Amino acid sequence: MTTFLCQPAARDILKKMGSDSRFFLQDDKPDSQVFVSPSLLSGRGQYRKAQHSIEWVPFAWTCHLDPQTGKVRRFDVMPFPTEKGKTAESHYCAASDLQLVLDSQNGAFDGMSHTGTFMTVKNKGGKACLLPAYPSVQFQTDDGKSVPVKRQAADGDTPAEDMLQSGIDLVLPQKSELHSALRWVSGDVYGGPHDCYTVTSLVVALGGNWLSYPLRSTFCSPEQGRVVVEQSPLSSQASVP
C-alpha cells in the first residue's frame, strides 16, 4: 500500500536528488515503513545514483496523505550522510534551527469545556532534519512547575507515549513546517474532588532539544489525577483536524 500511494511522488523528488529509476521505500531492517496515522506514513529507503550505478544512497522519508482521497499532499526526503563518524543523533533537528509557534485558530478548539492550541514547528536551518512524530510536551505554571499530564493520541485509542517509544521520526525539510493539534479539558466539569491549574507556558521536546512558548490556559483533572491531553502527530496539515 505504501508503494502504491507514495511511490509516484517519491520518484519525482528522488530524481531531482540524483536518483535513476531504481529506488526502494524500505530497507532490510525492522520497521522500515511505519503507519503513523491515515494521513501520515514514514520510513527509510535507498536510491541508486544515476551517475554511479553501483552506489546506493540511504534516506529517510515521510509521506503526507489526504485521508479522504489517499492522494499525496507532500513527500519529504532526507538523505543520510555517509561520512565517517556520523551518528543517528546528527540527523535530528538542532534547537537553534527550529521555531515554535502556537495558534488558537480563532477559537476552533473552544467548546464543551475543552480548549487547545495548534502547534507549528518551523525549520529555519539550511538542511533537512528529523523530528519525533509525537514530541513530548509539558505544560508549566508560572512558578515553573509541570502539570501532571497523560497524553493520548488523537484517535482516542493509542497512547501517545506508546508511539514515542517506537521511535517514529519524520523528515522536516529546510524552510518547511509541521503541525500538531493539542486539546485538553479547561472547564470545571468534574463533579467530585478535582484539580485545576493555570498554565503559562508550553515546553516541547524535539529530538533532545527543548523549546518553550507562552501559553495561558486552565487545565483540569480529577483530584490527584493527570490532565488528559489529546495530541495529533506532527504533519503537513495546516489547520485543525
Phi/psi at 15 (nearest 5 deg)?
-65, -40
Name the amino acid, one letter, at 160.
Answer: A
Q: Which residues of 6-35 are buried (b: 16+ CB within 10 A; e: fewer)?
A: bbebbeeebeeeebeeebbbebeeeebbbe
CA angle 197, 138, 202 (to 5 degrees): 80
Confidence class for position 116, pLDDT limits 50, 70, 90? very high
Least confident of 58-72, 93-107, 183-197: 183-197
Over 80: is that where the pLDDT of 169 sits? Answer: yes
Kindly state the average pLDDT of the residues 114-143. Answer: 93
**Are 155 and 162 spatial neighbours (Cβ–Cβ below 8 Å)?**
no
**Residue keyed to cell 463533579:** 191
Least confident of 7-11, 130-134, 200-204, 223-227: 223-227
- Of 118, 144, 121, nearest in space to 211 by CA: 121
DSSP for 102-141, written as a single string: EE-GGGTT-BTTEEEEEEEEEE-SSS-EEEESS-EEEEEE
Confidence class for position 168, pLDDT limits 50, 70, 90? confident
Q: How many CB atoms lie within 10 A of CB 48?
A: 18
Q: Which is more confidently placed, 181 or 188?
A: 181
pLDDT of residue 11: 94
Confidence class for position 82, pLDDT limits 50, 70, 90? low
pLDDT of residue 160: 54
Confidence class for position 147, pLDDT limits 50, 70, 90? very high
Name the amino acid, one letter, at 196.
Answer: C
Over 90: is that where the pLDDT of 170 sits? Answer: yes
Q: Which is more confidently placed, 213 or 89?
A: 213
Torsion angle of alpha carbons 170, 171, 175, 176, nearest 10°?
-50
Is 95-231 CATH 2.60.40? yes
Half-sphere exposure of 125 (CA within 13 A, CB side): 16
pLDDT digits (tens, 9 = 90+) for 11-59: 999 999 999 989 999 888 888 888 888 889 999 999 999 887 788 999 9
CA angle 137, 143, 145 (to 5 degrees): 40
Confidence class for position 195, pLDDT limits 50, 70, 90? confident
pLDDT digits (tens, 9 = 90+) for 57-79: 999 999 999 988 889 999 999 99
Above pLDDT 90, what percent of the chain? 51
pLDDT of residue 73: 94
